[in-house]
């Protein structure tokens, strides 16, 4: 077997489809977000404005967060020194878990090294903890949820995206006594639509299921204190497990679940992806604690964030640029072809110093390739107007379709 050829051929296939991924080599500048330097050309660093970061609130440069991290570095040192069970539970981890449980008004929280791991580890262990369980999964669930559900090995059904009738049809086919888990998201991050949490909880009650809600793109951003859509819609107590990340609105990294003491204790005791890995560095836990506290106390950030997203949608729409329907802070603009999508982002980067990563299959279905724009509270009117002008020019230059 010519192994090197196998690898090269696999990549050549996605190159041919226009889906080959090129990473931007960014030097973020604390205090100057969303400005950054693009180091792709080696020493010739070029300034860019970042329009696709998931540091939704700019908390990655927040002064309280940075101060907490500097101080934790001096207090705790660099790494945690172990798994959570063997020397890797520091006071920063314990405090952060207490804060996250409070954020979601749940009894307990459990930290993981990322949101991906939180989903994979928890959903896979649920199959083990709940004998003969059936899992019902929204068709647009994130790859990490799919991985966890598959890994768990329980019987599983995919319901059409946010389709309550289809979900009910599937639930009905199983006796009430049989364990059931409904897994779904609150904000779907590529389209910016929202899962029907309350209605799904109604179905869960009726058919004796528990609910697993990924709030990765909503924590910090919705609800009076940033507890997500489940806080905003006052349904936190109806959701069995709320999962979130520290890597997006909170600006750091790490993931978590929250729920009852019994559930968290069971996941803590059985989930491989929690047990057999070194815990987050205490510096990260301390920074996340400062971030969650800050974000909970600053609803003004959430108000400004929504205002920025609305302003951008309106400005793009006024120029006939095809903004896809979104009821959240995500601003998707349809291109509909992988090669052209990449061309748009190349021209934006090279001619206008604007960085937006093209979003292609398999992240979104083929034919719906798009720009996914994420304005934050620190994207000013001026740079927003620059973006809209540049996009309008590129649309003409590449002869792309506008909407009426």
Q: Which residues carry out catalysis?
A: 248
| H or E stretch at 295 | helix 282-297
Binding-site size, ligand PLP (CB under 6 A): 14
138 binds ligand PLP, rule: CB under 6 A: no
193 binds ligand PLP, rule: CB under 6 A: no
Are 57 and 376 contacting, i.e. CB atoms less than 8 angstroms apart? yes
Cα–Cα distance between 257 and 261 in angstroms, integer? 11
Report in angstroms how near the CB of residue 243 gets to ligand PLP at its nearest.
Answer: 8
Cα–Cα distance between 147 and 174 in angstroms, integer? 23
Report in angstroms how near the CB of residue 122 gets to ligand PLP at its nearest.
Answer: 11
- Give, in order, the Cα–Cα distances in Å from 15 to each of 22, 339, 355: 11, 10, 21
CB atoms closer than 10 angstroms to residue 298: 18
* Cross-strand partners of 187: 194
User: Nearest 10 degrees: CA dihedral of 307, 309, 313, 316?
Assistant: 110
291 binds ligand PLP, rule: CB under 6 A: no
Cα–Cα distance between 302 and 249 in angstroms, integer? 10
116 binds ligand PLP, rule: CB under 6 A: yes
201 binds ligand PLP, rule: CB under 6 A: no
Selected from 80, 119, 137, 345, the binder of ligand PLP by CB under 6 A is 119
Report the site for ligand PLP in 307-366 (rule: CB under 6 A).
none
* Cross-strand partners of 259: 108
Rg (CA), the chain: 22
60 binds ligand PLP, rule: CB under 6 A: no
**Which residue number places its CB atom closest to ligand PLP?**
115
Nearer to ligand PLP, 60 or 394 (CB): 60
Selected from 100, 216, 301, 371, the binder of ligand PLP by CB under 6 A is 216
Count helices and strands (H / E) in the chain.
Answer: 14, 16
Report in angstroms how near the CB of residue 2 gets to ligand PLP at its nearest.
Answer: 35
Nearer to ligand PLP, 97 or 394 (CB): 97
Selected from 214, 316, 356, 360, the binder of ligand PLP by CB under 6 A is 214
Nearer to ligand PLP, 34 or 254 (CB): 254
189 binds ligand PLP, rule: CB under 6 A: yes
144 binds ligand PLP, rule: CB under 6 A: yes
247 binds ligand PLP, rule: CB under 6 A: yes
Nearer to ligand PLP, 58 or 244 (CB): 244
- Among 92-100, 150-158, 193-201, 213-221, which window interacts with ligand PLP (CB under 6 A)? 213-221
Q: How many CA atoms lie within 13 A of 231 on its CB side?
A: 21
Selected from 88, 255, 259, 273, the binder of ligand PLP by CB under 6 A is 255
Pairing of strands 46-50, 26-28: unpaired
239: Cβ–Cβ under 8 A, 6 or more apart, which residues? 197, 201, 211, 213, 230
What does the binding site for ligand PLP look like in residue numbers (CB under 6 A)? 114-116, 119, 142, 144, 185, 189, 214, 216-217, 245, 247, 255
């Amino acid at each position: 077997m010519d192994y090197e050829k196998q690898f090269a051929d696999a990549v050549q296939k996605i190159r041919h489809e226009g889906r080959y991924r090129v990473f931007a080599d960014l030097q973020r500048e604390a205090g100057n977000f969303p400005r950054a330097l693009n180091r792709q050309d080696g020493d010739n660093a070029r300034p860019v404005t970042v329009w696709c970061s998931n540091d939704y609130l700019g908390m990655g440069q927040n002064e309280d967060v940075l101060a907490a991290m500097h101080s934790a570095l001096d207090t705790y040192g660099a790494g945690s020194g172990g798994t959570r069970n063997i020397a890797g539970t520091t006071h920063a981890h314990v405090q952060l878990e207490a804060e996250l449980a409070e954020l979601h008004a749940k009894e307990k929280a459990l930290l993981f090294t990322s949101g991906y791991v939180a989903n994979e580890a928890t959903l896979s262990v649920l199959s083990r903890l709940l004998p003969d369980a059936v899992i019902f999964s929204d068709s647009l669930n994130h790859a990490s949820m799919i991985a966890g559900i598959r890994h768990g090995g329980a019987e599983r059904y995919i319901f059409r995206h946010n389709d309550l009738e289809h979900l009910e049809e599937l639930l009905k086919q199983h006796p009430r006594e049989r364990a059931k888990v409904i897994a779904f998201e609150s904000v779907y991050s590529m389209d910016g639509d929202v899962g029907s949490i309350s209605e799904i909880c109604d179905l869960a009650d009726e058919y004796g299921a528990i609910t697993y809600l990924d709030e990765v793109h909503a924590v910090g951003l919705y609800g009076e204190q940033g507890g997500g859509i489940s806080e905003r819609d006052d349904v936190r107590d109806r959701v069995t497990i709320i999962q979130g990340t520290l890597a997006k609105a909170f600006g750091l990294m790490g993931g978590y679940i929250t729920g009852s003491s019994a559930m968290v204790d069971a996941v803590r005791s059985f989930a491989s992806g929690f047990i057999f890995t070194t815990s987050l560095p205490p510096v990260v836990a301390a920074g996340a604690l400062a971030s969650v506290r800050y974000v909970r106390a600053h609803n003004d950030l959430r108000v400004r964030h929504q205002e920025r997203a609305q302003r951008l949608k309106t400005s793009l729409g006024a120029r006939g640029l095809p903004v896809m329907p979104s009821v959240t802070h995500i601003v998707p603009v349809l291109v509909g072809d992988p090669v052209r999508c990449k061309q748009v982002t190349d021209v934006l980067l090279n001619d206008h110093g604007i960085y937006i990563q093209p979003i292609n299959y398999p992240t979104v279905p083929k034919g719906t390739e798009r720009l996914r724009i994420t304005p934050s509270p620190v994207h000013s009117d001026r740079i927003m107007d620059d973006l809209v002008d540049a996009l309008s020019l590129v649309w003409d230059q590449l002869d792309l379709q506008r909407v009426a």
